[in-house]
Amino acid sequence: MEYLEKVLSTALFVFFIYAWFSVSYIFFYSFLGLFKTKKRTIRKVKNKLRKFVVYIPAYKEDAVIVDVANTAMKQNYNKKLFDVVVIADSLKTETLNKLRKNNIEVIEVSFEKSTKSKALNFAMKNVEPLKYDVALILDADNVMKDDFLTNINMAFNRGFQVVQGHRIAKNLDTNYAILDAISEEINNNIYSVGHRVIGMSSRLIGSGMAFDFELFRKTMKDINAVGGFDKELELKLMKSKYVFEYVENAYVYDEKVNNATVMTNQRSRWISAQFYYLRRYLLSSIYHLVKDFNLDFFNKALQMALPPRVLLPGVLFFITIIALITSQSREVYTFGTLFMVNIIAYVIAIPRKFYNKKTLDAVIYGIPNIFLKTLLSIGKMTKANKTFIHTPHTNTKVDESITKKNKFKV
């Protein structure tokens, strides 16, 4: 019995250290996210309007891809300086015809195991050198604000070669969509704004991101990830010391999930990819931190070690309650304090527009369900990075309440 108590005490202490690091990291960058980012110039380049290619990989996205591609054509950027290319995987013939009828370039692909990285590599394979300056990646449900390319181009004029736009919800129609939207904005605050405030690289998020075309093509050639290709992409580029800019006023609207099952499957895929790349790159990031003080690369590897957002406060709360019931006052204080700091970090990272009754309802009725489903799916997460998990999309319109607040126009 005494031996078991020592084991449990040691395990609890190890978890406390891990939780303390995680909460401290999240709180630090969440606090920094309250400040305004400065527009930095990292190298002198010629100011110009660059030639963009907008890649939209679409796997069985017949419900949304036509409207999304048509909207992408309506940018207030020089029409001769951007092409919209749909990489069509398993789309219906009628969908392909509609796209081509609207002068949208279509590249048809077919793979035994479909992945976004395969689709993008296929599309870039035979593009002639210097045809494009910038490759911009969208998901099949993404809708760009009409000045998106203009704002991204301005970042390239300040010398950046990797630029992330501000992905934001385009629908708030269910409790889970609201939670998904809030989660996105917390990430924007912590991993984009908070990092850029002190000059560190923003995160990449898989869509609404732009790259120097040849840099992107060269880097992607060695990436064949089933899930989380953006994670491997950002680690490789950070290892090479590229700095990622974040353009907060470059909005790209993204469909948020409308039920707990889809959200849990999506998070399982992300979490699986996160810990897979942690194992692959942690030692390398430590080596490059010591060798050439590559702080961005090391910091990104540390991010991969952070626990899932929905699980951390839930576990801290559970331990606090158990300690309270068993009269373990020290544990009540330590884990209870961590829980409160964790919650405060999330609260200050949430945009003020979400401070309303709908959000409160979503938290009360949605968070417990998501927590339990995520906890139960942990055993299946090892498979999520080996199998392509498609998130279905059906929403083609941007919620009017959101467009008014962000002066959206198409």
Check: CB of residue 152 under 8 Å from CB of residue 384.
no
Q: Is residue 399 part of a domain?
A: no
Q: Is residue 408 part of a domain?
A: no
**What pLDDT score does 381 carry?**
60
pLDDT per position as a tens digit, 232-269: 999 999 999 999 999 999 999 999 988 877 777 777 77
**Domain CATH code at residue 112:** 3.90.550.10
334 and 218 together in one domain: no
Is 398's pLDDT higher than 90? Answer: no
| Tokens describing residue 381 | 């997460």
Q: Is residue 375 part of a domain?
A: yes
Is 72's pLDDT higher than 80? Answer: yes
% the chain with pLDDT above 90: 71
Check: CB of residue 74 under 8 Å from CB of residue 406.
no
128 and 201 together in one domain: yes
Is 290's pLDDT higher than 50? Answer: yes
Is 294's pLDDT higher than 60? Answer: yes
196 and 298 together in one domain: no
**What pLDDT score does 387 carry?**
57
107 and 187 together in one domain: yes
Q: Is residue 274 part of a domain?
A: no
Q: Of 231, 266, 301, which residue sits at a domain end? A: 266
Which of 9-18, 32-41, 171-180, 379-388 shows the lowest per-residue confidence on average (mean pLDDT)?
A: 379-388
**What pLDDT score does 105 carry?**
96
87 and 214 together in one domain: yes
**Residue 120 and residue 107: Cα distance in Å, rounded?**
10
329 and 364 together in one domain: yes
Q: Is residue 143 part of a domain?
A: yes
- The predicted model gives 39-50 an average pLDDT of 92
- As for how many domains the chain has, the answer is 2
pLDDT per position as a tens digit, 334-388: 999 999 999 999 999 999 999 999 999 999 988 888 888 777 776 666 555 555 5
pLDDT per position as a tens digit, 174-191: 999 999 999 999 999 999
Q: Of 245, 266, 287, which residue sits at a domain end? A: 266
Q: Is residue 401 part of a domain?
A: no
228 and 363 together in one domain: no
**What pLDDT score does 90 carry?**
92
Q: Which of 238, 192, 199 is nearest to 40 (CA)?
A: 199
Is 2's pLDDT higher than 80? Answer: no
Q: Of 220, 240, 266, which residue sits at a domain end? A: 266
Q: Is residue 391 part of a domain?
A: no
404 vs 72, higher pLDDT: 72
Chain centroid to Cα 258, Å, comes to 18
218 and 295 together in one domain: no
262 and 346 together in one domain: no
367 and 231 together in one domain: no
Model confidence at 103, pLDDT cuts 50, 70, 90, reads confident
Encode burial over 50-66: b for 16+ CB neighbours within 10 A, e otherwise: bbbbbbbbbbbbbebbb
CA 198 to each of CA 37, 53, 88, 192, 245: distance values in angstroms, whole numbers, following the listed order: 8, 31, 40, 11, 12
236 and 287 together in one domain: no
290 and 355 together in one domain: yes
pLDDT per position as a tens digit, 268-278: 777 788 888 99
Predicted TM-score (pTM) above 0.85: yes
Q: Which residues span the domain enclosing 141?
A: 52-266
**What pLDDT score does 181 carry?**
95
**What pLDDT score does 405 carry?**
55
The strands making up 209-212's β-sheet, listed across from edge to edge, are 105-109, 82-89, 52-59, 134-137, 209-212, 162-169, 244-254, 143-144
**What pLDDT score does 410 carry?**
44
Is 228's pLDDT higher than 90? Answer: no
**Residue 103 and residue 186: Cα distance in Å, rounded?**
38
Q: Is residue 406 part of a domain?
A: no
Is 24's pLDDT higher than 50? Answer: yes
Model confidence at 393, pLDDT cuts 50, 70, 90, reads low
**What pLDDT score does 270 carry?**
76
Cite the DSSP H helix spans in 208-259: 213-220, 229-239
pLDDT per position as a tens digit, 105-143: 999 999 888 899 999 999 999 899 999 999 999 999 999
